[in-house]
Amino acid sequence: MKLCMATNNAHKIEEIRPLVPGTVGLVSLEEIGCREELPETGDTLEANSRQKAQYVWDHYGVNCFADDTGLEVEALGGEPGVYSARYAGPQRDARANMELLLRKLEGEENRRAQFRTTITLILDGQAYQFEGVVRGAILGAARGTGGFGYDPLFVPDGYARTFAEMDLAEKNKISHRARAVERLIRFLREREEESS
């Protein structure tokens, strides 16, 4: 089955490709000829992921899935949440986003946070959603050079290192995106078994 991951983010595709079973041919937006920016005007992760997947299905007729991920910080009432990528402005600057987050958390003892990913799969025109969550805490300063986004600030529960200090294989075992993808893959496998 050909399945498009509706993103232009090479990091996300790199993270997900090893998780997808061999029976699924994962293709990028570029590979289906989609070069435009996908709409993302929803005010929830669920709405954004649905909007992006629906756009690909409506315009290209390709089975696809899209994700939207947010960092939700307890002390900030769930900010930056759905606005995580553009927290410090439309330029989507990861360093500026982290600096703004740290400024807002200055003097705050509660550093609890979670990364949450919602995936919308559109298969033959029918939409399905899957969620993955990983809980942890925000550090006072960035650590590590791997990953992307807020990874240098986030230490998942049960670990002493940030996502940015982990290699991809280790992060893939526990990340929010990996957990959502795991649910997606389980669903695809069950569908495959039913039809065989």
- Residue ranges and CATH numbers for the domains of the chain are 2-195 (3.90.950.10)
- pLDDT grade, residue 196 (50/70/90)? low
More confident residue, 140 or 188: 140
Catalytic site residues? Answer: 68
Q: Which of 102-106, 148-152, 191-195 has the lowest mean pLDDT?
A: 191-195
Answer yes or no: is pLDDT of 158 > 70.
yes
Long-range contacts of 181-187 (CB under 8 A, 24+ apart): 181/16, 181/19, 181/20, 181/119, 181/130, 181/132, 182/19, 182/132, 183/119, 183/130, 183/131, 183/132, 184/65, 184/119, 184/121, 184/130, 185/19, 185/20, 185/21, 187/121, 187/128, 187/130
Mean pLDDT of the region 62-74: 96
* pTM exceeding the 0.85 threshold for the entire prediction: yes
Mean pLDDT of the region 70-86: 96
